[in-house]
């Protein structure tokens, strides 16, 4: 059994909407962006976080990276409750460098007026306090680890190819020797021809540096390749978790099944069962008694609108939140 690096305990985030201020009366509606999410990330483990846009993936990631405070629940990093540190102060926390993020499109997320060197050096200056020769040595080390030729370090983002920019984004994240890396669609902006090299680089870095990953992606074919376990979210809640291969081979939750059937397959065989029609339910003050997937679910019954199915354990270290999953 691996030891848990990151532990989420009933984490929720609710955003108030509508009018604020002195004259506001009565109940303030809230968007329930993340609702009662618990899972752990083991040392050296890769967790895939999947779900449609609006399911709360990004909010969850922002809480884990401590850019956003939790409304309820706790986040533990190596047995320390990092969620107790206000997001505003976490920037100067000792653990800041231990949680790093690789953003979706390195072309957009890197300052266009920074050279590759500056982009990689920035977190090292701020968090590691490195200067001069030590800084240069560490930047070059990170670049080499990511397969970025040292000659390219003086270039600006627009002078680099998409794959090289992705490497800068990864080098920047691993510079501070993090323990947990959050990868937000790291290959979404890349052509398939380069995607493979970046995925292989990520796998190699994980093995070399003993990193843990949370891999956020729409592309389930890619998630399947890289992840040990997956966490499937729908409207702020976890609907299914389990070992990646098992979940992809025999999804237990009807939402997961629809999601997997919707992936285009290279063999050209199309799966049309469980097409998701309609829109998700409103995330504003959702009823605690109705399954979040009710209304779009192909198997929804009366029970699903009077009793929210809890996330319950299934054989093979799996969990699903559906009355009908067994």
Partner 1 sequence: MTAPVLRVEDLSVAFHTRNGVVRALDRINFAVDAGQTMALVGESGSGKSVTAYAIMGLLEEAGKITGGRALLSGTDLVACSPRALSRIRGRRIAMIFQNPRAALNPIRAVGRQIADVLLRHGGATAANAKQRAIEALQAVGIPDPARRANAYPFELSGGMCQRVMIAIAVAARPELLIADEPTTGLDVTTQAVVMDLIQAMAAETGMATILITHDLALAAERASRIAVMHAGHMVEDCDTATLLAQPRHPYTARLIAATPSATGRLEALQSVPGGLPDLRRNDLPPCRYAARCERRAEACDRVITMRDIAPHHRIGCWNPLEQAA
Q: Which residues bind partner 1 (CB under 8 A)?
A: 52-53, 161-162, 191-197, 199-200, 203, 218-222, 224-226, 248, 258-259, 261-270, 272, 275-279
Q: What is the closest distance, in whole angstroms, from the C-beta atom of residue 237 to partner 1 in the complex?
A: 17
- The SS3 of residue 12 is strand
Q: Which is nearer to partner 1, 176 or 195 (CB)?
A: 195
Q: Which is nearer to partner 1, 4 or 238 (CB)?
A: 238
From the list 75, 65, 54, the residue with the least C-alpha distance to 12 is: 75
Q: How far apart are CA 185 and CA 118, in angstroms?
A: 23
Q: Which is nearer to partner 1, 151 or 279 (CB)?
A: 279
Q: Which is nearer to partner 1, 129 or 277 (CB)?
A: 277
Q: What is the closest distance, in whole angstroms, from the C-beta atom of residue 203 to partner 1 in the complex?
A: 6
Q: Which is nearer to partner 1, 4 or 227 (CB)?
A: 227
**Angle made by CA atoms 212, 105, 196, in degrees to the nearest 5:** 65
Q: What is the closest distance, in whole angstroms, from the C-beta atom of residue 163 to partner 1 in the complex?
A: 9
Q: What is the closest distance, in whole angstroms, from the C-beta atom of residue 81 to partner 1 in the complex?
A: 34
Partnered with residue 100 across adjacent β-strands are 181
Contacts of 311 (CB under 8 A, 6+ apart): 237, 238, 239, 241, 319, 320, 321
Contact 210, 181 (CB under 8 A): no
Q: How far apart are CA 174 and CA 97, in angstroms?
A: 9
DSSP 218-239: S-HHHHHHH-SEEEEEETTEEE
Q: What is the closest distance, in whole angstroms, from the C-beta atom of residue 271 to partner 1 in the complex?
A: 9
Q: What is the closest distance, in whole angstroms, from the C-beta atom of residue 202 to partner 1 in the complex?
A: 9
Q: What is the closest distance, in whole angstroms, from the C-beta atom of residue 204 to partner 1 in the complex?
A: 10
Q: How far apart are CA 299 and CA 319, in angstroms?
A: 18
Q: Which is nearer to partner 1, 151 or 267 (CB)?
A: 267
Q: Which is nearer to partner 1, 70 or 166 (CB)?
A: 166
- The crossing angle, in degrees rounded to 10, of helices 192-209 and 162-174 is 20
DSSP 179-211: SEEEEESTTTTS-HHHHHHHHHHHHHHHHHHT-
C-beta atoms surrounding 292 within 10 Å: 26
First to last CA, the chain: 25
Q: Which is nearer to partner 1, 38 or 261 (CB)?
A: 261
Q: What is the closest distance, in whole angstroms, from the C-beta atom of residue 151 to partner 1 in the complex?
A: 17
């Amino acid at each position: 059994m691996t030891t848990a690096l990151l532990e989420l305990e009933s984490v929720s985030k609710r955003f108030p909407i509508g009018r604020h201020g002195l004259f506001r009366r009565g109940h303030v509606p809230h968007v329930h962006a993340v609702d009662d999410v618990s899972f752990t990330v083991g040392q050296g483990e890769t967790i895939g976080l999947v779900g449609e846009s609006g399911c709360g993936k990004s909010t969850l990631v922002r809480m884990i990276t401590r850019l956003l405070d939790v409304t309820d629940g706790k986040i533990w990093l190596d047995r320390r409750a990092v969620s107790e540190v206000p997001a505003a102060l976490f920037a100067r926390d000792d653990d800041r460098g231990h949680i790093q993020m690789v953003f979706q499109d390195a072309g957009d997320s890197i300052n266009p007026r920074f050279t590759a060197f500056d982009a990689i050096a920035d977190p090292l200056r701020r968090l590691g306090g490195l200067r001069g020769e030590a800084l240069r040595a560490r930047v070059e080390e990170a670049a080499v680890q990511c397969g970025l030729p040292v000659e390219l370090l003086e270039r600006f983002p627009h002078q680099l190819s998409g794959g090289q920019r992705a490497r800068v984004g990864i080098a920047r994240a691993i510079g501070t020797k993090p323990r947990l890396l959050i990868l937000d669609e790291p290959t979404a902006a890349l052509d398939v021809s380069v995607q493979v090299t970046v995925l292989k680089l990520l796998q190699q870095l994980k093995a070399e540096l003993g990193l843990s990953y949370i891999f956020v992606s729409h592309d389930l074919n890619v998630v399947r390749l890289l992840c040990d376990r997956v966490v499937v979210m729908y409207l702020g809640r976890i609907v299914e978790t389990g070992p990646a291969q098992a979940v992809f081979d025999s999804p237990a939750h009807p939402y997961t099944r629809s999601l997997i059937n919707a992936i285009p397959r290279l063999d050209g065989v199309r799966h049309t069962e469980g097409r998701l029609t309609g829109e998700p339910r409103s995330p504003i003050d959702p009823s605690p008694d109705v399954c979040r997937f009710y209304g779009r679910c192909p198997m929804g019954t009366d029970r699903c609108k009077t009793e929210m199915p809890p996330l319950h354990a299934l054989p093979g270290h799996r969990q699903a939140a559906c009355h009908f999953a067994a």
